[in-house]
Amino acid sequence: MIEMPCRDWLQNYRRDTFTSDLVAAVIVTIMLIPQSLAYALLAGLPAEMGLYASILPLVAYAIFGTSRTLSVGPVAVVSLMTATAVGKVSQSGGVDYATAAVTLALLSGALLALLGLARFGFVTNFLSHPVVSGFITASGILIALSQLRHIFGVQASGETLPALLSSLLPALGDVNLPTLGIGLFSLLFLQGCRSSLGPYLLRLGLTKGAATLITKAAPVAAIALTTLIAFALGLEATGVALVGAIPQGLPAFSVPVVSPELLEALFLPALLIALIGFVESVSVGRTLGAKRGERIDPNQELIGLGAANIASAASGGFPVTGGFSRSVVNFDAGAKTQAASIMTAIGIALTALFLTPALYYLPKATLAATIIVAVSTLIDWRIFKEAWRYDIADFGAVTVTLVMTLGFGVELGVISGVTTSIALHLYRTMRPHFAIVGTVPDTEHYRNVNRHNVVTHKNILSIRIDESLYFANAAFLEELVYSEQAKKPDVEHVILMCPAVNSIDLSALEALHEINRYLSERKITLHLSEVKGPVMDALQRSHFLEQLAGKVYLRHHAAVQELARL
């Protein structure tokens, strides 16, 4: 059954909710117009595709998504990933660039929806916090660099840091000065508004809401200003790149026809876009939901974002997801339900219908400036410091992700980040913590002989293992027992104390068999103690307990008492 979470809020929809939602929708629409155009530019697509990706996807998410305030549409990182994926395919495969982007949205949407329907939301858990952070920071750097060509008005391209730099630097000789003027003006204007306008307006006595509204409208002001300048000064003739003619009207609704070869080539990029987009979106949704006590259902979120992407593909758009800054603005502006998103979609539709002729003279440098200012917040080095101090494995994962993304592009970046974090996790559990334990005098407690004053017996070796036993640490366990036994020549009994062993897999069971055989050949008896219930259940389904030379004791103390007496 496909659920429609929109029923909940539709049933209790009231007039005052409508007013709140309308105000939020107006603010988000004003914010979304430049963003949608800019991210289409970033993805290498015609401007109108940005608008198309901001109409139906919002409606689809409003119906199927679980967050009431998430604002869906084109976002920076996913647009960069789209540019990379589509660039590769259209270079080699001979398909139209725009068709490939639409197909990517369709495939990505289908994967999201399938993962959601199969309740496979857990796969996103493999994207660890350091990997996502490192990836976002690296993407922010790549995005900002990729937009510098529009600021300088030169030809350059590339999907990695070395490629971007080696393409951009030699091209700087051909800089177009009017373009650079527009670009720098936009950058300074936007950055100035972002850092100073809000506080200034508040000092003037405006409410926080009004100040936010005006601040968030800065990109629209930049667009209006630079469009007027470009028109009035006839900058097109001086070589300033303009957005140009945008088809007027709503997107035609169509089912994309795709070839199996294209689907195969786009499969991996679509999956990565789906996963990264989902992780980003859910983290925004969760944060906002927590503030109002609304719960996000990850599997239903997958379906909601899947529907949004399929809707984007069906209406000529490209991959979308929940945007961070836009959703926060939507929330702060008072949006109560997804009706705000539906009204935003109407706002963008009206823009597509009536405002596109006005965008003819909009300089691309202005859009590039809005992108650069927006992604500068993505670049965050604190995670490196934090990881460095906290855990070397996490630092390794974030560094590998950053370096690989910058050096080899977004796809290899994500893949190597995930691989590294899994490998480091396994490496950690491969050499589990253990302790040789003895009795704390006059108690039944057992502690590490190296840290506490404890009593041990000459004929007993008690080893406590602080990790589940599985294939990756099975060999370690064998070596551990053999080397500890070799250190204690008078040992007659080895007791493995297992209170922190949450599972024993077949490889570890094989190792226990081997240890039992090895010790038996040396006239030493292997025992287990404090085996947890589920682990004991599993052992009883094997032949191990029949072959175990010693016993399984419920309490370690009982084992030591019995064996010390012998």
Binding residues for its own copies (CB under 8 A): 122, 124-131, 286, 290-291, 293, 295, 298, 386-387, 389-391, 393-394, 421-422, 425-433, 466-468, 470-476, 482, 499-500, 502-503, 505-507, 509-510, 514, 517-518, 521-522, 532, 534, 538, 541-542
Kindly state the tokens that stand for 47. 């401007």
Shortest distance (Å) from residue 542 CB to its own copies: 5
A 10 A CB-CB count for 433 gives 12
Q: Which residue has the tokens 């979304």?
A: 32
Rg (CA), the chain: 30
Q: Which residue has the tokens 């010390």?
A: 564
CA distance 325 to 304: 19
Shortest distance (Å) from residue 466 CB to its own copies: 5
A 10 A CB-CB count for 450 gives 9
Nearer to its own copies, 236 or 492 (CB): 492
Kindly state the tokens that stand for 376. 């500068």
Nearer to its own copies, 137 or 344 (CB): 137
E-only strand ranges, 69-219? 72-73
Nearer to its own copies, 124 or 227 (CB): 124
Nearer to its own copies, 37 or 454 (CB): 454
CA distance 528 to 559: 9
CB 533 within 8 A of CB 499: no
Shortest distance (Å) from residue 391 CB to its own copies: 6
Q: Which long-range contacts (CB under 8 A, 24 or more apart) does 477-481 make?
A: 477/508, 477/511, 477/512, 477/515, 478/511, 478/514, 478/515, 478/518, 480/434, 481/515, 481/518, 481/519
Shortest distance (Å) from residue 394 CB to its own copies: 4
Shortest distance (Å) from residue 506 CB to its own copies: 4
CB 403 within 8 A of CB 435: no
Nearer to its own copies, 193 or 519 (CB): 519
Shortest distance (Å) from residue 346 CB to its own copies: 34
Shortest distance (Å) from residue 282 CB to its own copies: 9
Q: Which residue has the tokens 């003006």?
A: 185
- Kind and range of the H or E element at 332? helix 324-332
Give every CB contact of residue 534 below 8 A, 6+ residues apart in sequence. Answer: 502, 503
Give the strand pairing for 72-73 and 460-465. Answer: unpaired
Shortest distance (Å) from residue 392 CB to its own copies: 11
Nearer to its own copies, 155 or 503 (CB): 503
Nearer to its own copies, 17 or 542 (CB): 542
Nearer to its own copies, 208 or 385 (CB): 385
Q: Which residue has the tokens 């104390």?
A: 497
